[in-house]
Structure 1
Amino acid sequence: MNNLLHQQEWRIIDQSSVGMHFQAVQSFGTDDTLCASVGTGNAPATARTWVHHNTVVLGIQDTKLPYLEDGRQFLNEQGYQSIVRNSGGLAVVLDQGVLNISLILPETEKGIDINRGYEVMFLLIQKMFADFNKQIEAKEIIGSYCPGSYDLSIAGKKFAGISQRRLKKGVAVQIYLCVNGSGSNRAQIIKQFYEIAKKGEQTKFSYPVIVPEVMASLSELLEVDLTIADVMLRLLNQLKLSCDLLYGGQLNEFELGLLPGYYQRIVERNDKISQI
């Protein structure tokens, strides 16, 4: 798996401190843009970091909840905006204590299979926090929100989840890292959302029964006060060891031309769901 982390170049696009006016729909449009650009050879492998203020990102499956609008109204009352991403998975919480990292990689002729994509992010996180000598596991944590086989946990408590997005020969491997704050408080919000949006009805899709105690932040698990900046430094140090050239950048001219179209698609998807 090491060879995916090792790239000739890594471009860093850091959007972790853009502020509250940077919306999650912009992030998902940006990752689609980067997939198309990196996948077609118009940009090198790219790591993008991003933070959003109180936002619950819903998966497509969540839009099938029988009382979705009641659930979204609850989130709004708690101070969270909600948007629907353009990929699978279920609801996750983003706030100022959650760092998102996207690794956008070009698919080679052999391609990057799903597990290989997950493993490269798992390896990166293990390396970033190796000095704490805590075992980080990748396995489904029952009772967590957006559970999956690549939930990252320490001592049975989940602090991160990984997803993937594939577009035009580009692969975006995305992770949310609960860096600080209360993991169980975040889970409590999602627990209440599902209770309100489902109201005990039988549904075609299964939704997680949230147990807030199985989720925590890295600061809680490592017993140290970690900031977003601390984790950014760890990320940069690891990527520096994994390439010949590491540099900061922004969207190039080709990408700036693509972004409005991909952004508009996500806006339209959310508008359509709001009208259901």
Structure 2
Amino acid sequence: MKSWVENVTIKKYEDRSGLTGLKQEPLVWTEVFLREVNRQSNTGILHFWPMDQTVILGMMDSQVAQLDKGLASIGQAGYSPIIRSLGGLAVVADEGILNVTLILPNPSGHKVDLRESYQVMVDLIAQALSDFPFEVVSGKVATSYCPGTYDLSIKGRKFAGLAQRIYQEAIAISAYISVSGNQVKRGQVVADFYVASFAPQEVSDRFPQVNPDSMANLSDLVGQDVTVEDMKKRIEQVLVENGTRLSTFYPSSDNMADFMTFGKTIKQSMEKYGI
């Protein structure tokens, strides 16, 4: 991780969801920040973004046979659906989940090694939790929601998942971290979405058979109350310890113009799915 963040100025932006009334607001900022970092070769952005009672679907999720029924299932559970352009499948966001995206310049100037960039976030989270006497393991938890090679687990239960997106020479590595709250319920919401979305007799290996018990929140796993704010501070501390210069990001007029452009595009794409 150090080779990616050492001597890089990383500007922190804490999204205050709802400023624009656009529920996809954090996803729009990802597009804006990718372009900003692509323009500024020695600058990164640390984006913390909250979302209230939301199921963030992947593009593949939009291809299920009965999407309308799946979306209705999400609504009945008290959540709102959106679709993201980052890779992966459905994940849940609420006040007990920390969503964090680290947008960095390509340190090599060569084609990005996806394994290396994923490892940056793995190391960041593992180091942030290094004071707990538990090993953070990276590896696929097949029956979790949004299973992937870089799932993070403690004692065999997943608490975080990763995704990334590349734009030219900028890389956005995102993580959702289940810090507190009812993780089993979150898993059930996603499991019910897939059950409702499949056509009768449909079988697909593209989507997980979600077992809600395969995941847990961080507080339960370490046996200590951990808060979203605490995790933010831990992540910032690790970046500084690895040679990062932290400052605050203030959107420029160009950033806001990009935000309006991408916001309109993303809103139109959501409307196509009835969201």
TM range (shorter): over 0.9
Segments of 5+ residues of structure 2 without an aligned counterpart are none
Q: Which residue identity does 2:164 align to in structure 1?
A: Q
The answer to whether the Cα contact below 8 Å between 2:6 and 2:242 also exists between their aligned partners in 1 is: yes
TM-score norm. by structure 1 comes to 0.93
Partner of 1:84: 83
Percentage of identical aligned residues? 28
Structure 2 CA distance for partners of 1:274 and 1:123, relative to 1, 3 Å: same
Give aligned pairs, total: 274
Bigger shift: residues 199-208 or 56-65:
199-208
Q: Which residue identity does 1:213 align to in structure 2?
A: D
CA distance in structure 2 between the aligned counterparts of 1:258 and 1:74, rounded to whole angstroms: 34
Structure 2 CA distance for partners of 1:121 and 1:65, relative to 1, 3 Å: same
Q: Which residue identity does 2:174 align to in structure 1?
A: Q
1:208 Cα deviation after fit: 0.6
Partner of 1:32: 31
CA distance in structure 2 between the aligned counterparts of 1:269 and 1:231, rounded to whole angstroms: 33
1:132 Cα deviation after fit: 0.2
Segments of 5+ residues of structure 1 without an aligned counterpart are none
Partner of 1:219: 219
Structure 2 CA distance for partners of 1:19 and 1:144, relative to 1, 3 Å: same
Bigger shift: residues 135-144 or 20-29:
20-29
Q: Deviations over 1:128-172 (max 9, x none)?
A: 000002100110001100000000001110000000011132110
1:243 Cα deviation after fit: 3.0
The answer to whether the Cα contact below 8 Å between 2:17 and 2:23 also exists between their aligned partners in 1 is: no
Partner of 1:106: 105
CA distance in structure 1 between the aligned counterparts of 2:19 and 2:213, rounded to whole angstroms: 28
Q: Secondary structure at the match of 2:235?
A: helix
Structure 2 CA distance for partners of 1:42 and 1:7, relative to 1, 3 Å: closer
Partner of 1:245: 245
Provide the alpha-carbon RMSD of the alignment: 2.0
Structure 2 CA distance for partners of 1:98 and 1:23, relative to 1, 3 Å: farther
Partner of 1:122: 122
Any runs of at least 4 consecutive aligned residues in structure 1 with deviations exceeding 4 A, and if so which? 17-24
CA distance in structure 1 between the aligned counterparts of 2:208 and 2:23, rounded to whole angstroms: 23
TM-score norm. by structure 2 comes to 0.93
